[in-house]
Amino acid sequence: MSDLFPGRLALLAEPSNLALLGQCLHGIERECLRVDQQGELALTPHPKALGSALTHPRITTDYSESLLEFITPTAVDPQATLDELDAVHRFTYSRLGNEYLWSHSMPCPLPEEERIPIAEYGSSNIGQLKHVYRRGLAVRYGRTMQCIAGIHYNFSLPERLWSVLQAAEGDTRSLQDYQSARYISLIRNFRRYSWLLMYLFGASPALDTGFLRGREHQLEQLDADTLYLPWATSLRMSDLGYQNNAQSGLTPCYDALHSYTESLRQAVSTPYPPYAALGTHDADGRWQQLNTNVLQIENEYYSNIRPKRVTYSGERPIQALMARGVQYVEVRCLDINPFLPLGIDIDEARFLDAFLLYCALQESPCLVEGECGASAANFLSVVKEGRKPGLQLQRRGQSVGLQDWARELLEAIGQAAGPFDASLGGDAYVRALQVQQAKVEDPSLTPSAQVLACLRDGGESFRAFSLRQSRLHAEHFRAEPLPEDMTRAFDEDARRSLEEQAALERDESGDFDSFVAAYQASLVGISV
């Protein structure tokens, strides 16, 4: 560990700066499949009682009409963020009828590919664009892969904190440029150390046999309906998940914001021959993908973490980053914990805060080619066999035991947890760290080990276990309905969102083909 990390921590611990860590912002996005009482994919439309998936601020859909996505507003207290997520779950369950929210990241038994419903967003141009983009995902990756669900954790440090660090370091760049550079630095460290998150929070060591659609694999058979790997932490994040040869060259090592945005700009502007052969329209003349480029839009690039900036109406993510810099990071590699009704709890959230602060304050040199490859290999090793006794990872060209490296990292992350507690009072962050330290000493405490223990000890298939947990979570949420005033507020949000979608469709001007052409042209000529 360099001298930079303790020096920066000491600066934040000064009385005049101590309150800054209490101003971090948190947000959570949780995806989950709707399933029927038998644990099969619900083929019903997005419930109208939940509002418009296009315009509702908190309840939408991801890839499929059956794949809900809940979005919290930001809050300085991660517990408040979880409380918001809890309220969305309770309201949703009050409007779901006899359906459940699937408790696991890996999907329930799925119907034939063509029967998995792609999300619909109405007849407005923007609604059609969202639908066609998802049709493109189906063409490029298949519908099955799009039914994998996860949790995204959004986190930002206050601008005042960045300005304090910048002044102490004598950095003469604009605050925007300094802040962006430091977030990119955070992301480089995240790539180095995110294998630890997969060990601690990976919760998908098994899946339903039908998920692979008969493809070749190296998984083992647990029972007639379940495949698994004995030491896996997160098959969701393995090479069984979302991947694509067209993206194989898109592995920016985040030297700087401009190199990241330029690589994405090139990807959304460069044709990919196999996609060009398919064309943008199918044999019946219907749109089947927005374009034939490596990426249809920026968000198609799959990454474990993204630099983000809130966009203005009509603005693309690249444009926002280029114009106003990085505002926060989105952590995208978190599995849904099937033992938790929300899929995440406060200990995990607080640990993520400390982990991300460590990544932000620790020295973070640019990743050279070998380190890029080693970081990716470490991540893949942990998702496939992270609990394997004696597992070795690569650090600066040398082998190191996962357990030894994890202990070192947790000690350093513990130093980042201390200022949170000093800022907020109490010892909640240190206690959250202790929960993770116990998992390093005893792998049976990890969510992935607990899932496999349930399957083996209970003699349950993946489907039976996940459905049982889904039912338990439904009972949990339905046992304590929201207060009437909160329910009325959610109903009003749903009503208003439907009106907003109707107004978009009523006031639409211009045809969809022209809308797509203008959207594509919005990045033409932009250089970084």
Closest CA to 238 of 148, 299, 349: 148
Reported confidence tier of residue 245, pLDDT bands at 50, 70, 90: low
Give the C-alpha separation, 59 to 95, whole Å: 12
Res. 162: pLDDT tops 60 = yes
Closest CA to 435 of 231, 205, 202, 200: 200
What residues contact 503, with CB distance under 8 A and at least 6 apart? none
**Is the dihedral angle over the CA atoms 332, 337, 343, 345 positive or is it negative?**
negative
Give the C-alpha separation, 522 to 519, whole Å: 5
| pLDDT confidence of residue 246 | 76
Tokens 């067209």: give the residue: 246
Sheet holding 226-228, edge to edge: 206-208, 226-228, 220-223
Res. 527: pLDDT tops 80 = no
In whole numbers, what is the pLDDT of the chain averaged over residues?
94
As a whole number, mean pLDDT of residues 183-211 equals 97
Give the C-alpha separation, 359 to 5, whole Å: 10
Q: What's the N-to-C CA distance of the chain in angstroms?
A: 33
User: In this structure, what token pair is assigned to residue 289?
Assistant: 């993908």
Reported confidence tier of residue 367, pLDDT bands at 50, 70, 90: confident
CB atoms under 10 Å from CB of 499, counted, come to 13
Give the C-alpha separation, 309 to 299, whole Å: 13
Reported confidence tier of residue 232, pLDDT bands at 50, 70, 90: very high
| pLDDT confidence of residue 252 | 67
DSSP per-residue letters across 393-427: EEETTEEEEHHHHHHHHHHHHHHHHHHHHHHHSSS
Reported confidence tier of residue 314, pLDDT bands at 50, 70, 90: confident
Q: Is 337 exposed, middle or buried (0-12, 13-18, 19+ CB in 10 A)?
A: buried
Report CA Rg, the chain: 23
- Between 239 and 333, the more confident residue is 333
Question: Which domains are present in the chain?
Answer: 4-521 (3.30.590.20)
Q: Are 88 and 494 in contact (CB under 8 A)?
A: no
As a whole number, mean pLDDT of residues 476-496 equals 97
pLDDT tens readout for residues 68-102: 999 999 999 999 999 999 999 999 999 999 999 99
Give the C-alpha separation, 382 to 204, whole Å: 12
As a whole number, mean pLDDT of residues 356-378 equals 91
Res. 241: pLDDT tops 60 = no
CB atoms under 10 Å from CB of 156, counted, come to 21
Give the C-alpha separation, 104 to 343, whole Å: 8
Q: What is the dihedral of CA 101, 104, 106, 109, to 10 degrees?
A: -50
Give the C-alpha separation, 270 to 214, whole Å: 33
The Cα diameter of the chain in Å comes to: 67
Tokens 């799959």: give the residue: 302
**Is the dihedral angle over the CA atoms 419, 423, 424, 427 positive or is it negative?**
positive
As a whole number, mean pLDDT of residues 350-365 equals 97
As a whole number, mean pLDDT of residues 362-376 equals 88
Reported confidence tier of residue 324, pLDDT bands at 50, 70, 90: very high
- Host H or E run for residue 192: helix 175-193
Reported confidence tier of residue 226, pLDDT bands at 50, 70, 90: very high
Res. 239: pLDDT tops 90 = no
Give the C-alpha separation, 75 to 80, whole Å: 6
Q: Whole-model pTM above 0.85?
A: yes
Reported confidence tier of residue 242, pLDDT bands at 50, 70, 90: very low
Reported confidence tier of residue 214, pLDDT bands at 50, 70, 90: confident
Give the C-alpha separation, 415 to 6, whole Å: 8
- Host H or E run for residue 221: strand 220-223
Q: Are 74 and 154 in contact (CB under 8 A)?
A: yes
CA atoms within 13 A on the CB side of 240: 32
**345, amino acid identity:** D
Give the C-alpha separation, 145 to 233, whole Å: 18
